[in-house]
Structure 1
Amino acid sequence: MLKLNYTEGGLYMERVMTSPELAIAQRVVLAMRLEQSLQVEPGHASLLLPADVPALEQLELSLRQECRGRVNVIPVDDEFVEVSLSGSWIAESKEAHEGMFLTVLSDSLSETLRERVELLLYKLWQMSEAHISSLA
């Protein structure tokens, strides 16, 4: 599973080896113990990758073959593509700009294939972060 944390400081992605249901349940319990409100709903998240990042074509091919409908890669301009993901949004309110997004790329894939595609997307995100940092 991929976990995207949207914070004031930006986006941070990590791979998590638990199920979305367990991660959501743990977050609900934490919110209850802290007496915080919590909104959990199906949704979409996106991240930008440089269009020239290595292995982008490999990702697009893997997604077309293995993750139809859950993940889309859409050109933004000559420099960037947007990766759009379906999953669950967890935040203090519907209007919150900070929160956690959980996604499993495809339930129909074998665990090995799903982990391979998730790892590839995660590595591309890491490379894009390094690429963007070097431009700043």
Structure 2
Amino acid sequence: MLKLNYTEVGLYMERTLTTPELLIAQRVVLAMRLGQSFHVEPGCACFLLRADLRELKVLETALQRELSSTVTLLPVDREFVEVSLTGSWIAEDRDAHEGMFLTLMSDRTEFLIYRLWQISAAHISSLA
């Protein structure tokens, strides 16, 4: 599973072995114990990858083979490609800008997306 954490300082992505259902159940219990509100809904998350990454072609090929409807790649401009994922949005309330997004796909696709995100994030942060 890919877990995307959206915070006020940006996006952090990680791969986990937990299923979305188990993680959501754990978060419900935690919210109840802490007396916090909790909101879960199906949704879509997007982020950018550099368009010049050689490994992007590998991801495109993997997505074509898997016929995955969970991931969509769209060119934004000459420099970036938008990755759109379907999954579940978890936050304190419906209008929160900070929260967690969970999505499940094949191990290979998860690995490729995670690796490409790491490479892109490292390049972008080195420019700052």
TM-score, normalisation: structure 1: 0.91
Tell me which stretches of 4 or more aligned residues in structure 1 moved more than 3 Å.
none
RMSD over aligned Cα, in angstroms?
A: 0.9
Contact kept? 1:54, 1:124, Cα under 8 Å: no
1:77-88 aligned within 5 A: 77-88=77-88
- 1:54-86 residue CA offsets vs partner (Å, 9 max, x unmatched): 300110111122142110000011110000000
Give 2:23's aligned residue. 23
Instruction: Pick the aligned partner of 1:121 from 113, 116, 126.
Output: 113
Cα deviation, 1:38-60, whole Å, max 9, x if unaligned, reads 10010000110010123001101
Give distance in 2, aligned partners of 1:66 and 1:132: 29
Aligned-partner Cα distance in 1 for 2:73–2:112: 14
Between the aligned residues of both structures, percent identity stands at 66
Specify every segment of 5 or more residues in structure 2 that has no aligned partner in the other structure, as ranges: none
- Confirm whether residue 64 of structure 1 aligns to residue 56 of structure 2: no
Secondary structure (helix, strand or coil) at the match of 2:86 reads strand
Task: Describe the SS at the equivalent of 1:68.
Answer: coil
Inter-partner Cα distance in structure 1 for 2:87 and 2:96: 17
Aligned pair count reads: 128
Tell me which residue corresponds to 2:123.
131
Alignment partners' CA distance in 1, 2:56 and 2:85: 16
1:135 CA drift (Å):
1.4
Separation of aligned partners in 2, 1:93 and 1:54: 39
The one-letter code matched in structure 1 to 2:102 is: L
- 1:98-117 to structure 2, matched below 5 A, reads 98-105=98-105, 114-117=106-109
